[in-house]
Structure formats: C-alpha cells, structure tokens
Amino acid sequence: MVNFQFFSGGAYHPKSFGAWSITLNDNSVSFSRQIQNNTTDFGTYNLTKSETKIWQLIKNANFESLNSSTRVGVPDEAKLSFRLSDKRLEIWVNDAREDKNLMAVIDFFSKLVKKYTKETLAL
C-alpha cells in the first residue's frame, strides 16, 4: 500500500484557517481539519480514475530529493509537512511556492478538498 500524507499547518492561525491533514492510500483519500482544539473528520473517499493522477504529480515533485526548510519562518507563515513512505519533508509555505512541482501537488489537493469537503484549503 502506497501512503502519502500532507499537513498544512496552522491549527492555531489567528485567521482560523485550520490545519488540514490529507492522507492518500493507493486509490483513496481522507481529510481532516483541526481549528484550535477542534478536529473535524471529513471521511475517506475513493479517487476517480482522473484523480489518481495525483500520484504522477507526487512523482514529478521528486520528494526524495527535496530538503526541509532550514530558515526561520516569518510571522503567520505555515509550515507544510509531507510524508511519503519514510521520507518526511517540512517546508515553509513561501518556500513551497517557489517549487512549481510541489505547488502542483498542493493545488491538486486544494481541488480535492473543495470537491469532497466543500471547504477551502487555505495556506
């Protein structure tokens, strides 16, 4: 079973964006969001055939070769976390925005969040 996780960070952000947790397992995706001390589980959904292209986007992002951010974050900047198998990557959102392949993954996750939860993935 292939497993990929994305965490958006920001559970305690002053604008209440919340921290999204998105987990991919082969052909399914699950969503939860934490705002302050409250967590909402949005459930698990089967990906459509066209949505399984997320795996190609993940491959294109080449997570195995990426490094975590080493700089200090700026105020209100979320730290994004990705986990693919045993590789864990933590990167500030402004650093992530500089990588088009990484942003393609995040943008696709944003579309999945909107479709399945009717919510917005705000970074």
- 81-121 pLDDT, tens digit per residue, is 999 888 899 999 899 999 999 999 999 999 999 999 998 88
Task: Look at residue 64 and tell me if it is in a domain.
Answer: yes
Confidence at residue 14, expressed as pLDDT on a 0 to 100 scale: 53
Domain range holding 90? 3-117
Question: Does residue 26 lie in a domain region?
Answer: yes
Whether 123 maps to a domain, the answer reads no
Tokens at 41, concatenated = 């589980």
**What is the per-residue pLDDT for 18?**
76
Return the pLDDT at 85: 81
- 1 pLDDT higher than 60: no
Whether 93 is in a domain gets the answer yes
Note the pLDDT tens digit of each residue in 39-67. 999 999 999 999 999 999 999 999 888 88
Confidence of residue 26 (pLDDT cuts 50, 70, 90): confident
* 17 within some domain: yes
**Is residue 122 in some structural domain?**
no
Residue 66 lies in a domain: yes
Q: Across the strands, what pairs with 40?
A: 33
- Quick check: 122 pLDDT over 80? no
Give the CATH number for residue 17. Answer: 3.30.1560
Split into its structural domains, the chain has a count of: 1
The model's pTM is 0.86
Burial of 86 (0-12, 13-18, 19+ CB in 10 A): exposed
CA atoms within 13 A on the CB side of 54: 28
**What is the phi-psi region of residue 47: left when phi exceeds 0, alpha when psi lies from -120 to 50, beta otherwise?**
beta
Structure-token match 């991919």, residue found: 24
| Sign of torsion over alpha carbons 120, 38, 105, 70 | positive
41 in any annotated domain: yes
